[in-house]
Amino acid sequence: MSTQQRVVPAGSATGGSWTAWLRTRIVGLVPEGQALPDRQPAYVASWIYVFGVLTLAALVVVVGSGLALAVGGSAWWHTSSFGHFINSMHLWSVELFFAVMVIHHWGKFWMAAWRGKRALTWMTGVVAFVASIGTAFTGYLSQSNFDSQWISGEAKDGINSIGAGAYFNVLNPGQMLMWHVVLLPLAVGVIAILHVILVRRHGVVPPLDADLPEHAPERAGD
Amino acid sequence: MSIHDTALTAGHYIDWGVISVSVTNLSIIIAMIVVFVLAILLPFPHARQDDDLERQDRP
């Protein structure tokens, strides 16, 4: 077999290949060296910048403990002490997830983090927050105890009042469990990945009074 | 004491006009505000050291 050199048409960076096109798109998502940076601007040396990554760390524990719960099933934690431990880990990592996420929001709100073409970063954060609330609420309905029964009995009136009860039946534990372990975590996961890519693409927002260099290196999309 | 009495007396609530919040939830909110303020005020470890390193890197 002879080796042949492929001729790339002039003016085409990818030569019409979808793999090359996709590679170019993936590589171009964030500026070179910014996907996993080891240095950050001086203003990032503050505890308030830690809460975003704390939220991600909590999300990893939430998903990990959730996967372990999925192995045993939704009623596992009622009969097994190990299952109860994993369930408690799932609960408390969610509590921490929301606490550090809200502190992250306060910090970002007061530093006007939508500046510098970061509006999409801000919006994906908001959508991730809303999707997380939905995931938490369907989690309450998946406890398989009297608490989830009572909460679903109360929630049905609210859902029916907006006309969604026929499609989103909070009294159906099977449907709520599927929303809790498949659809909503998928949404939160995808939006969280998009959010992190956008943060790495545009960089961490500087404080309002930051003394930035006059010719600071441009980031993607700026 | 009936089960209804138990349910009604479970937890302590603070009522202020239309606002009704449990002491537990209020404590968590206050703790979060304290953490937020501390995150702004407390110095970040090695921040000064990193600044010095950056200064050395500059030509």
Specify if A147 maps to a domain.
Answer: yes
ipTM: 0.79
| Chain A residues whose beta carbon lies within 8 Å of the beta carbon of residue B46 | 45
| Chain B residues whose beta carbon lies within 8 Å of the beta carbon of residue A45 | 44, 46-47, 50-51
| Chain B residues whose beta carbon lies within 8 Å of the beta carbon of residue A50 | 39
Specify if A90 maps to a domain.
Answer: yes
Specify if A96 maps to a domain.
Answer: yes
- CB atoms A45 and B54 under 8 Å: no
User: What number is the average pLDDT over the span B17-41?
Assistant: 95
Chain B residue closest in CA terms to A48: B39
| Chain B residues whose beta carbon lies within 8 Å of the beta carbon of residue A107 | 36, 39-40
Torsion A199-A114-A215-A211 (CA) sign: negative
pLDDT, tens digit only, all 222 positions of chain A: 455 555 555 545 667 899 999 999 998 998 888 888 888 888 888 899 999 999 999 999 999 999 999 999 999 999 999 999 999 999 999 999 999 999 999 999 999 999 989 999 999 999 999 999 999 999 999 999 999 999 999 999 999 999 999 999 999 999 999 999 999 999 999 999 999 999 999 988 888 887 666 545 545 444
Specify if A99 maps to a domain.
Answer: yes
Query: Could you tell me the two tokens for A170?
Result: 């909070």
- CB atoms B32 and A42 under 8 Å: no
pLDDT in tens, A33-71: 888 888 888 888 889 999 999 999 999 999 999 999 999
Which one of A99, A102, A103 has the shortest CB-CB distance to B39? A103
- CB atoms A42 and B47 under 8 Å: yes
- CB atoms A103 and B46 under 8 Å: no
| Distance in Å, alpha carbon of A59 to nearest chain B alpha carbon | 18
pTM of this structure: 0.83
Say how many C-beta atoms besides its own lie within 10 A of residue A194's C-beta.
16
* Residue listed under structure tokens 């001086």: A42
Contact, A161 vs A180, CB < 8 A? Answer: no
Residues 6+ apart with CB under 8 A from A156: A165, A169, A170, A171
Specify if A193 maps to a domain.
Answer: yes
- CB atoms A45 and B46 under 8 Å: yes
CATH code of A148's domain: 1.20.810.10
Specify if A8 maps to a domain.
Answer: no
pLDDT of amino acid A213 = 60
Specify if A160 maps to a domain.
Answer: yes
Specify if A59 maps to a domain.
Answer: yes
Structural domain harbouring A177? 45-202
Q: Rounded distance, CA A166 to CA A100, Å? A: 35
Count of structural domains, chain A = 1
